[in-house]
Structure 1
Amino acid sequence: MEVKAPIVGTFYAAPSPDAPPFVKEGDRVQKGQVLCIIEAMKLMNEIESEVSGTVKQLLVRNGEPVEYGQALFLIDPA
């Protein structure tokens, strides 16, 4: 399952530059768990998982701009 960007903005994998990422490949996630932040117009928007499962792939690098509907993660529901 793809997790897609609900807004246009800048992708951040961690809550701050010196913090560990919210998730990494191979991590188990729960529905509602924060996966990343997208900054849009100086507002930080937490992006949550819509399913429980395993993070198979991160498709965006930290600090990259993302478009509406762009795939951010691949999650294997389980």
Structure 2
Amino acid sequence: MSTVDAQMPGVFYRRPSPESDPYIEPGTVVRSGQTIGLIEVMKTFNEIKADRECRVSKILLDDGDEVDIGQTMFEVDDV
């Protein structure tokens, strides 16, 4: 298991808009470069992208949660 940690402080979102489905759910296999979440900083949305193919085992934040630099957002496993 490894983690995906925040590279900036801000507000975390699991989906592109309130009415949209989440980018991922636990168990989702993602490919390298796939968007897995967003961090909003001063009304600018920054995509969180997977750096390799992996399976998301745990999502540690909910929509609207504040996140700090280095905080773990996801736990992932190699596929």
Structure 1 residue identity aligned to 2:47:
E
Amino acid at match of 1:24: E
Q: What is the match of residue 55 of structure 2?
A: 54
Structure 2 counterparts to residues 1-78 of structure 1, below 5 A: 1-78=2-79
Unpaired runs of at least 5, structure 2: none
Q: Deviations over 1:47-67 (max 9, x none)?
A: 001121111000111110000
Length-normalised TM-score, structure 2: 0.95
Q: Distance in 2 between matches of 1:52 and 1:24?
A: 15
Give 1:41 deviation, angstroms. Answer: 1.0
CA RMSD between the two structures: 0.6
TM-score, with structure 1 as normaliser: 0.97
Identity of matched residues, %: 36
Write out the 4+ residue segments of structure 1 that deviate beyond 3 Å after TM superposition.
Answer: none
Residue identity opposite 1:33 in structure 2: Q
Give the secondary-structure state (helix, strand or coil) at the position aligned to 2:74.
strand
